Amino acid sequence: MTDTRKPSELRGLVGSRTRTLLAPRVTGQVRYTDDIHLPRMLWGRIVRSPHPHARIVRIDATRALAKPGVIAVITGKDMPERFGIIPWTPDEYPLALERARFIGDAVAAVAATDERIAHEAAELVDVEYEVLPAATDLQTAIDKPEVGLGKGGKDNVSKEVDLAFGDVDAALAESDVVITGDYYYEGSAHVPIETHCAIANLDKNGLLTVWSTTQVPHYLHRELSRVLRVSPTRIRVIQPPVGGAFGGKSEPFSLEFCAAKLAMITGRPVKFLYTREEEFYAHRGRHPMQIHMKVGAKRDGKLTSVDARTFIDGGAYSSFGLVTTYYSGQLLTLPAFADTYRFRSTRLFTNKPPCGPKRGHGSVQPRFAFEVSLDKISRALGIDPIELRRKNLVPPNTTTLNGLRVTSNGIEQCLDAVEKASGWKERFGKLPKGRGLGVATSAYISGTNYAIYPNAMPQSAVQLKVDRSGVVTVFSGQSEIGQGCDLMLAVLVADELGLDLGSVRVVSGDTDLTPVDLGAYSSRGTFMNGNACLMAAREIKSKLVAAVAEKLDVDPRSVLVTRGALVVVHDPSRGVPVTEAIQLAEAKFGTLGAVGHYNTPKLGGDYRGGTIGASPAYSFTAHVAEVSVDARSGIVRVEKIWVAHDCGKALCPVIVEGQMEGSAYMGAAEALLEEHVIGPDGLHKGPNLLDYRIPTSLDVPDLHALIVESEDQEGPLGAKESGEGPLHPSIPAIANAIFDAASVRIDRLPFSPARVLAALRKKQADEQAAAVESSLGGFAPRRGAAPPNPPAAE
Amino acid sequence: MSLADLPLHDMQRAASLDALCGIVAERHARGEATVLLAGGTDWVVEQELKPPRGDADPRPLVVDVSCMAELRGITATRGLLRIGAAATYLEIRRHPTVIERAPMLAAMARELGAIQIQARGTLGGNLATASPAADGVAALAAYDASIVVKSVRGERRIPFSALQTGYKQSTRAPDEVIVAVEIALPPEGSPWLWRKVGTRRAQAISKVALAGIAVRSEDRVVRLGLGMASVAPITATLLQTRALVLSRPLSAITADALDAAVLSDIAPIDDVRSTREYRKHAAKAVVRGFLRDLGAPV
């Protein structure tokens, strides 16, 4: 048996100090945006549309302005400039100019001396609306494109992608089995504990500072400049530590513009803090998707073709929708795939809170449909579902059907790990009725290969400042949103320079202090920011080595960095403590500092959209879920999830495991509990934490995180992402386990007790009807005309 | 509003229960509203949902009763358990007598909301706001509790069966203060059930919740209490179901008859937490489960 410790532990990268760095988070010492109170600060409140679709006829702020304590009211006319995270599709105004497009759309904003007055004053802003017909569900948007946000035809189409690789029709025709299914993936919200918050202040020198709970300070900096028509040199964006984001804070929102504008008008700092209800309406959560999918296979299990037709409910604005639409197909070609592929996806506008990126942007929904299809194929062909996947794996160091360059690939080890840990071979198909196992796999990007706005500059950068006391400070544009990117940087620097983790400080997310990084999205942090940081640390390291070599009069190639000291390789008794090495280097080279950056190689398929899905590395995941299904109540309980994830290299295993567990937990919640449902009236069905059901600790299954390390050649010390990938297989693994437990397919999320019970009853009725039919020797009535309660066949 | 907005209201405490009854009566006579605030777990949420009031609109007087001695305390004498209207669920679930003699009540309080809600919420408050989804009220229905109310006219007891008249409507007069609830304790060791079907395992409002108490004598149930939350405009007392069970030996109760009785006792609706159909199914299933435990072949 080999050493059971994880490789990273062997390298001594992390120890108990990890917890020291995380302590402020769990002991309430982190200062979040809402903890900031500035002298003379005003409170802002957004006036929101009560109609899902309406023309704004007139806004009268007279009554609000007459209220004592109200300082200013602004409307769309104060900022008549469109914005949007994707430069090609700017379609939002900070405050709606002519039309409100969903209930909750921002139409005006108030600044007052305290929060209560601001809330009350917002109710006193009189807005006259001309109510327009609304499309509040996907089917209406498909069937009646003239209702809602379009004028008919393709006018309400946000984006359409139609890509084909190989002759799909021929491949399907030659298949021995073709599984056709209709899947519906319900929308869900991010539900960060910290709701959106922004504060703006204009100082005497004309510098506008905006503190925001954003995941993308750099993009926010650009958009503030454009919309406010203020030079970027006069704007500073500070992103304090964020209390959870999950993709829900990765574009500019109304509150940042409104805080800034009101600060400019009033000359006083202004704070906006979204209520929980506003958070649900600001949304940008998981897109509902309706997926029609065909998957074909040969008798031996080799997949021949995948053909998908998908409709995406986009909500009222574009957000990242252009990218979402590509992601609804592009990432399916890993880790196991067919010879031919075609997908056509259409994102439609509806009069609902806009959807956007949520952990596993756009690719979680098709993953559900595909992995369930694979399970159906395995049943049809009598092939073990893990074996079926093994037969179709895309190997390492290759290119996929749609042009994705794959380097390191640990999916086989992931499958092996979950198969072994779950006792799959001994237990699959052999559990008692009502209990079952299901498997699913996935792959995900370690950062999108291209910046949101095309440019040749680095995607990520850091600066290192080295103090002669032995402290190294990392200045990084990355956004610490609770995912641990500050710790990741500290680990890399400490490891490279032989420092204790406590001697590395990280300053991040401040456009005045830190170099540009594009933000905390697309799982890019570790790979891109980590590589930038390594580049800078290695420059410092070479100077320390040179200075020590000179002092000890040895060849620099024989100087080795160890924990706490630089020593001579063949004579470790000769060495210099790191702090002394820093001082020697400062004496020799002058003040120590370094910059590092990362940019991606040119990647992607040679077709329109071929760059979307391209990434310098892919992570891989396999899940096995064990569920119990109670036939009496329809209640599904996830008893255990084994999740194996190839993160390249676990720079900080405790954080990687946390990301894997958090992903599996969030996926299980989408599978069983969460529903972001908007009624026909355009109102959210439960915009609060009582009715929107995130799981409590009692609802969480037993999670087993199994780290797999494939050592990526281009990743920092071999590392890849772990924040989003591990979510994907959760949902199909649970769906497949439900089938193993109860022989019913639930192709629509969530797998609620009522839905599961209905499926169980339908199955029972079908079986009874079939039994009656066979007992009548072929003279039975058609199934649809069968008596409602056929006698049970004995 | 939030608790932080409470200072916007006129707030006071009363020196005694009599004084409190006096304040409520006087204001009622003048047509003015008085809110008796215990934990605020219902009332504060209700305020949030109300349309905003103008500055000139009258706000109700809020009287904080959470510390009033006459409304607190849990005592048991000669088979009668008395729980003060302002005793919190946390006090209820931790009280040795409740745990020993009314274990169903303790089990209910344990599953009610989060610990913060348990530390504030009270039976008196849930009776006053009269939500049919209140778990505590369903438990009281099963115990056939009496509600002790007091006004300047004196004290009286309202049997649970005579309390609720419609959605959030009751026979308690507007000037009557809820003082306590009284439960005639069943014999020690009597079978009981608390079954909450929620949207998650904790911190959920019930899709359906069943409280059950039974006293059995050989093949018959001789006392039966049932209360069900979230299946009708008022807390369901399942009178048809009780009558069916009490009318015949356990061995003669059939699943079909039981299901029919349950369906005749409830009128559930579709909402964000569940569907009408699922609630019907769950109601039947939990009642069957209780009767099965008692020995009925259902």
> For A668, what's the count of Cα atoms within 13 Å in the CB-facing half-sphere?
31
Closest CA in chain A for residue B281:
A633
Q: Residue B271: give the domain boundaries.
A: 192-294
Residue limits of CATH 3.30.365.10 in chain A: 458-598
Residue A144 token pair: 């009646």
**B38 and B78 inside one domain:** no
Closest CA in chain B for residue A756:
B278
Judged by a CB distance cut-off of 8 A, whether residue A348 touches chain B is no
**B81 and B102 inside one domain:** yes
How far lies A518's CA from each of A9, A222, A449, A552, in Å? 31, 11, 12, 43
**B215 and B167 inside one domain:** no
SS (H, E, C) B123-155: HHHHHHHCCCCCHHHHHHHHCCCEEEEEECCEE
Backbone angles phi, psi at B8, to 5 degrees: -70, -20
- The whole-angstrom separation of Cα A380 and Cα A164 is 26
Q: What is the average pLDDT value for chain B, to the nearest integer?
A: 93
- Here the CATH number for the domain that contains residue B133 is 3.30.465.10
Residue type, position A356, single letter = G
**Predicted local distance difference test score (pLDDT) of residue A18:** 59
- Cβ distance of B200 and A699 shorter than 8 Å: yes
- Report yes or no: A324 and A613 within 8 Å, Cβ to Cβ: no
- The whole-angstrom separation of Cα A72 and Cα A45 is 11
- Cβ distance of B278 and A753 shorter than 8 Å: yes
- The whole-angstrom separation of Cα A602 and Cα A408 is 17
Pinpoint the alpha helices (H) of A308-384: 321-330, 364-381
Pairing of β A636-646 and β A702-708: parallel
**Predicted local distance difference test score (pLDDT) of residue A572:** 86
What b/e sequence results for A400-435 when a residue is b if at least 16 CB atoms lie within 10 Å of its CB, and e otherwise?
bbbbbbbbbbbbbbbbbbbbeebebeeebeebeeeb
Number of structural domains in chain B: 3
Pairing of β B80-84 and β B74-77: antiparallel
How far lies A526's CA from each of A100, A163, A480, A522, A723, in Å? 39, 31, 12, 11, 10
Domain limit, last residue, from B184, B201, B235: B184
Task: Out of B204, B272, B285, name the one closest to residue A633 (CB).
Answer: B285
**Predicted local distance difference test score (pLDDT) of residue A21:** 66
- The whole-angstrom separation of Cα A249 and Cα A356 is 10
**Could you tell me how many helices (H) and strands (E) chain A has, helices first?**
20, 28
Termini Cα distance of chain B? 49
How far lies A212's CA from each of A625, A657, B192, in Å? 38, 28, 54
Which residue, among A278, A684, A696, would best test binding to B if mutated, counting the most B CBs under 10 Å from its CB? Answer: A696
Judged by a CB distance cut-off of 8 A, whether residue A634 touches chain B is yes
The CA-CA-CA angle for residues A233, A238, A239, to 5°, reads: 145
Domain limit, last residue, from B163, B184, B205: B184
Residues of B in contact with A632 (CB under 8 A): 285
- Cβ distance of A632 and B285 shorter than 8 Å: yes
Judged by a CB distance cut-off of 8 A, whether residue A753 touches chain B is yes
How far lies A692's CA from each of A308, A489, B201, in Å? 31, 36, 14
Minimal CA separation from B212 to chain A, in Å: 19
**B52 and B98 inside one domain:** no
* Tens digits of residue pLDDT in B210-258: 999 999 999 999 999 999 999 999 999 999 999 999 999 999 999 999 9
The complex's ipTM?
0.87
Q: What sign does the CA torsion over A138, A139, A140, A142 have? A: positive
Minimal CA separation from B229 to chain A, in Å: 17
Residues of A in contact with B55 (CB under 8 A): 67, 120
- The whole-angstrom separation of Cα A531 and Cα A713 is 12
Residues of chain A with confidence (pLDDT) below 50:
1-12, 14-16, 778-794
- Cβ distance of B203 and A686 shorter than 8 Å: no
Domain limit, last residue, from B127, B158, B184: B184
- Cβ distance of A754 and B278 shorter than 8 Å: yes
Termini Cα distance of chain A? 55
Residue type, position A38, single letter = L
Closest CA in chain B for residue A122:
B52
Residues of A in contact with B204 (CB under 8 A): 690, 693
**B10 and B105 inside one domain:** no
**B173 and B100 inside one domain:** yes
- Cβ distance of A633 and B197 shorter than 8 Å: yes
- Cβ distance of B274 and A754 shorter than 8 Å: yes
- Report yes or no: B282 and B185 within 8 Å, Cβ to Cβ: no
Residues of A in contact with B281 (CB under 8 A): 757
- Cβ distance of B272 and A757 shorter than 8 Å: no
- Cβ distance of A754 and B197 shorter than 8 Å: no
Judged by a CB distance cut-off of 8 A, whether residue A762 touches chain B is no
- The whole-angstrom separation of Cα A126 and Cα A115 is 19
* Tens digits of residue pLDDT in B83-109: 999 999 999 999 999 999 999 999 999
Residue A590 token pair: 């002058």
- Report yes or no: A239 and A651 within 8 Å, Cβ to Cβ: no
Give the pLDDT band (50/70/90) at residue B53. low
* Tens digits of residue pLDDT in A57-91: 999 999 999 999 999 999 999 999 999 999 999 99
**B76 and B131 inside one domain:** yes
Put the strands of the sheet holding A157-165 in their side by side order.
A157-165, A340-349, A303-315, A289-297, A177-185
**B60 and B87 inside one domain:** no
Rg (CA), chain A: 28
- pTM, whole model, 2 decimals? 0.93
- Here the CATH number for the domain that contains residue B271 is 3.30.390.50
Q: Going by CATH, does the domain composed of A33-132+202-245+249-273 fall within 3.90.1170.50?
A: yes
Put the strands of the sheet holding B61-64 in their side by side order.
B11-12, B61-64, B34-37
Minimal CA separation from B287 to chain A, in Å: 13
Higher per-residue confidence, A767 vs B53? A767
Residues of B in contact with A685 (CB under 8 A): 272
Task: Out of A634, A699, A754, name the one closest to residue B201 (CB).
Answer: A699
**B104 and B81 inside one domain:** yes
- Cβ distance of A696 and B200 shorter than 8 Å: yes
Which residue, among B272, B274, B287, would best test binding to A if mutated, counting the most A CBs under 10 Å from its CB? Answer: B272
Residue A465 token pair: 């400042």
Closest CA in chain A for residue B286:
A633
- Cβ distance of B272 and A691 shorter than 8 Å: yes
Residue B38 token pair: 């215990």
Task: Out of A67, A633, A695, name the one closest to residue B200 (CB).
Answer: A695
- Cβ distance of A691 and B285 shorter than 8 Å: no
Tell me if residue A643 falls in helix, strand or coil: strand
Mean pLDDT, rounded, for B40-62: 76
Q: Looking at the domain A458-598, which fold is it?
A: Aldehyde Oxidoreductase; domain 4 (3.30.365)
- The whole-angstrom separation of Cα A747 and Cα A745 is 6
Residues of B in contact with A116 (CB under 8 A): 5, 8
Task: Out of B197, B201, B282, name the one closest to residue A698 (CB).
Answer: B201
**Predicted local distance difference test score (pLDDT) of residue A28:** 87
**B165 and B219 inside one domain:** no
- The whole-angstrom separation of Cα A219 and Cα A345 is 27
Residues of B in contact with A67 (CB under 8 A): 55
